[in-house]
Homo-oligomer: A and B are copies of this chain.
Amino acid sequence: MGKKGQLYVFTGPSGTGKGTILGQVLERDKNVFLSVSATTRAPRGEEQDGVHYYFLTHEAFKEKIKQGAFLEYAQYVGNYYGTLEAPVDQQLAQGRDVVLEIEVQGAMQIHNKRPDAVMVFVAPPSMDELERRLRGRGTESDEKVQGRLQTARQEMGFANRFDYIITNDRLENAVADLLAVLAAERCRNRDKIDK
């Protein structure tokens, strides 16, 4: 048995670009693996069970909630989404680093459950810039943008619970920062004796 892998939680308000950052990081650091989420929504197109999602029925999902099988879960537009703890722990036991890309509320659920997780928060350079980016998408009504901004403001209030805060000012810098966090954490002495 080699060294156990490290669990990472990667989150941030909608529009901060966390998906884009993580996508580039996963291409460049082949020693970290993205966790597969579970969902009750139906598979789309080429989506495969166990690859893109674990597809569960509503009944199966609720049963697993009762069993405490989820690291975090949430409901969104009538469907459940969540992270099953068992497959994450299996990968960690195999020495693989695992990253969860989840919403801030989900991240806060893990915060208490898994003190071993390294918690990374992506922040926008400013709320003005976040608004500009959300409007720049051009796909959402003013009301929806306002709603997202309101949520983002609340979510920013949780940033101080995280181990690292990466400000996504320039994408290439944010990608370099996350790669640095992964590399540095591999050198971290988890058995440090303080006195």
Contacts and interface: CB of A to CB of B under 8 A. Distances in A.
Contacts of A159: 189
Interface string A74-104: 0000000000000000000000000000000
Interface string A134-171: 00000000000000000000000001111111100000
Interface stretch (A7-15, A36-44, A61-69, A172-180): A172-180
Interface centre among A184, A191, A194 (most CB of B within 10 A): A184
A159 B185 CA distance: 16
A1 interface: no
Interface residues of A, number: 26
A127 interface: no
A125 to B, nearest CB: 14
Contacts of A191: 160
B180 A166 contact: no
Query: 3 closest A-B pairs (Cβ-Cβ)?
Result: A180-B183, A184-B184, A180-B180
6 contacts: A160-B191, A160-B192, A161-B193, A164-B187, A165-B187, A181-B184
